Structure 1
Amino acid sequence: MSGQNAPIIIKRKKVIAGGGHHGGAWKVAYADFVTAMMAFFMLMWLLNATTEQQRKGLADYFAPTIAISRTSAGGADVLNGDTLHQSDALSQSGTGSNMGLRGAVPPDRSPPRLRPGEGAAAAEVAALREIEEMLLGRGGESLVARKALRHVVTKLTDEGLVIEIFARPGAPIFPPGDTVPLPVTRALLGLVAQTAALVDNPVAVSAHLAARPVVLADNPVWRLSSGRAEAARDALEAAGLAPSRMRRVTGLGDRSPAADGPAAPRSDRLEITLLRRH
């Protein structure tokens, strides 16, 4: 009878599906691994899809300082191992190298060639766009150093390819009141001349000045702008531009200001235009 009064014990087993929670740190590590692998394969694809010149351009973009030539001892590349800011001063102070621009255009560059069937007008536009890309490095390495590049802008218009060389605050392209180009200006004009040699379009040169805050009875802006235009023409021809290609040389005084304002340093500029013929 005593056995009938024994307590009844019920055991319930707790079933855990999936082995329980062991932490999520491994998921973070796995995600980092997958991201790193994806970045690695994208890098490999980019290395395979770009040209050597484009890779140099990308490397130069992230470099703290950029020389025009990546060779260290005067090779056969752009400027033969020299740079625009190698010599006495930089364009930041309105000066630059006092050397010539030997070999600014790589010797293996041939004039732009067009696909069969392109019209004369389309052919001319394509050639001018290639000149623009060579100067500014849009397709890879630029022919102009980063400091000097801040003085240059280009635009393709109905008249032709306009290459502007303009002053910046604290970095002029001519001494005040003078018609003698500063070294950085002469170097940039030499580059323009050698790049323009890849085509045979006529050339026009114009000089512009910033407006003076005081109106003078004998305002020298016309004589000064005309003198600077003539000096730019002389520099272009000295760098190899054929004199027969020069169509006009114009001094426009302060009558065509830049968008920054008539008195802004940006209005003090040279415009070299490779004129369209079609």
Structure 2
Amino acid sequence: MAGQSNAASVIIKRKKIIKGGGHHGGAWKVAYADFVTAMMAFFLLMWLLNATTEKQRKGLSDYFSPTIAINRVSAGGEGSLGGESIFSEDTRAKSGTGGSSDQKGASSGSAKDIMADEGTADLREIEKELLDRGGESRTMEQLLRHVVTRVTDEGLVIELYDLENAPLFTNDTAEPTPVTLALAGLLVEVLGLTTNKMAVNGYLRSYPVTLRNSPVWDLSSARAQRMRLLMEAAGLPSTRMERVSGYADRKPVTADGAAIRNNRLEVILLRQDR
């Protein structure tokens, strides 16, 4: 036993072996799935941009735009009416408190704003009714390629313009093409949902200055008048037409005044609150 006391002590080392998670576990599958989803969304977007018209793309954009519903007459101390309705003056009169002259002025002004908002909402409804026709058929979609709309202080402006190889009138005349005849019928059908007064404006591209007699004034007026006649023939009451004007080449919509895009008509659904 004494001889073994000088023997070297035995040291046992235990190593902790950590096994790897294979191919980084399952995280790569999640990343790959996200990548595939993103690529699918990207190619879907590319397909939509190629397969839809400008009006349809605008409709998709409006559909996904955030909107906030606003109650025109609401309680509380915030908002355009300061917690009062447009009938606040009637309430004060019944309770014997009355209203100050300043309050009456503010109330009438708010009511006017509300009427203006309602007028704009009506115009937007007519605009939507017109543009939604593009989804009915391929023919209607081709017609609406000539149409651009916007709501202004004057009313709903429906702009009809020439396309390359698809003009609204034959050459330099006021003779309408089948496209214009179809557009006139479509406008009467949609605008017949209202009783607002209307106006028609005619515009032309600029002609070379070397022409001895430029036709822009007479021709722009003649085309506007022809559109009026076409709409009346399609069923529009003549009493609804407020004015017909020709602006020649004085208001181009492109930097190049001679561009075909400047050959256009504006059919305006006028506001009733003006």
Whether TM exceeds 0.5 here: the answer is: yes
1:150-205: per-residue Cα shift (whole Å, max 9, x none)? 32111212211111001134432222112122222222222221111111101111
1:48-67 correspondence to structure 2 within 5 Å: 64=51
The CA deviation at 1:265 is: 1.3
Which position in structure 2 is the counterpart of 1:148? 143
2:125 is the counterpart of 1:130: yes
Name the SS of the counterpart of 1:247 in structure 2: strand
Structure 2 residues not aligned, in runs of 5+:
38-44, 54-71, 74-85, 87-110
Name the SS of the counterpart of 2:202 in structure 1: strand
The CA deviation at 1:137 is: 4.0
The CA deviation at 1:213 is: 1.8
1:5-64: per-residue Cα shift (whole Å, max 9, x none)? 7554422111246x5443315112245568999xxxxxxxxxxxxxxxxxxxx9x95794
Which position in structure 2 is the counterpart of 1:74? none
2:24 is the counterpart of 1:24: yes
* Residues 32 and 194 of structure 1, relative CA distance in 2, 3 Å threshold: same
Which position in structure 2 is the counterpart of 1:270? 265
Whole-Å separation in 1 of the counterparts to 2:163 and 2:25: 54
* Residues 2 and 142 of structure 1, relative CA distance in 2, 3 Å threshold: farther
Which position in structure 1 is the counterpart of 2:194? 199
- Going by fraction, where is helix more abundant, 1 or 2? 2
Which position in structure 2 is the counterpart of 1:111? none
The CA deviation at 1:273 is: 0.5
1:198-217 correspondence to structure 2 within 5 Å: 198-217=193-212
Which position in structure 1 is the counterpart of 2:15? 14
* Residues 213 and 158 of structure 1, relative CA distance in 2, 3 Å threshold: same
Name the SS of the counterpart of 2:252 in structure 1: coil
Residue 185 of structure 1, aligned match among 180, 183, 187:
180
Residue 157 of structure 1, aligned match among 148, 152, 159:
152
The CA deviation at 1:141 is: 5.2
Whose radius of gyration is greater, 1 or 2?
Answer: 2
The CA deviation at 1:274 is: 0.7
Aligned residues: 208
Structure 1 residues not aligned, in runs of 5+:
38-57, 67-114
C-alpha RMSD over aligned residues: 3.6
Whether contact under 8 Å (1:189, 1:236) holds in the other structure is: yes
Whole-Å separation in 1 of the counterparts to 2:250 and 2:50: 41
Equivalent pairs: percent with the same residue?
Answer: 41
What TM-score do the two structures reach when normalised by structure 2?
0.63
1:234-271: per-residue Cα shift (whole Å, max 9, x none)? 22122222121111122222222224332111210000
Question: Structure 2 counterpart of 1:192, which letter?
Answer: L
2:218 is the counterpart of 1:250: no
* Residues 21 and 28 of structure 1, relative CA distance in 2, 3 Å threshold: closer
Which position in structure 2 is the counterpart of 1:168? 163
Whether contact under 8 Å (2:253, 2:262) holds in the other structure is: yes
Whole-Å separation in 2 of the counterparts to 1:2 and 1:256: 118
Which position in structure 2 is the counterpart of 1:218? 213
Whole-Å separation in 2 of the counterparts to 1:189 and 1:179: 14
Whether contact under 8 Å (1:134, 1:142) holds in the other structure is: no
What TM-score do the two structures reach when normalised by structure 1?
0.62
Name the SS of the counterpart of 2:243 in structure 1: strand
* Residues 156 and 65 of structure 1, relative CA distance in 2, 3 Å threshold: closer
